[in-house]
């Protein structure tokens, strides 16, 4: 729907007499795509940070491990505790 396709009455009802900016469906869809892309960027970054934190914690466990045979159990126990605060 194009902005020009709205009748004056429709603009008054939907646009509150011009106080609310009206958008075409194409403009809305484009803005929505951009917002989704930004959300994905943040989600990917957060996942990478979580993996980095987990890798650092596992590396610390490995460095402090005296008995290598118990290392896997220590890592599993850490994972069972839940997220690091």
**What is the residue extent of each domain of the chain?**
3-81
Residue 11 has pLDDT above 70, yes or no: no
Tokens standing for residue 6? 């709205």
- What pLDDT was estimated at residue 53? 92
- What pLDDT was estimated at residue 84? 58
Residue 83 has pLDDT above 80, yes or no: no
More reliable by pLDDT, 58 or 82: 58
- How far is the C-alpha of 75 from the C-alpha of 79, rounded, in Å? 6
Q: List, for residues 16-74, the tens digit of each pLDDT value.
A: 555 567 778 899 999 999 999 999 999 999 999 999 998 898 888 888 887 888 888 88
């Amino acid at each position: 729907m194009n902005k020009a396709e709205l009748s004056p009455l429709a603009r008054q009802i939907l646009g509150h007499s011009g106080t609310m900016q009206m958008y075409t469906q194409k403009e809305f869809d484009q803005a929505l795509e951009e917002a989704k892309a930004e959300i994905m960027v943040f989600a990917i970054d957060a996942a990478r940070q979580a993996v980095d934190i987990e890798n650092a914690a596992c590396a610390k466990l490995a460095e402090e491990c005296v008995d290598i045979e118990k290392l896997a159990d220590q890592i599993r126990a850490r994972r069972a505790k839940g997220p690091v605060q």
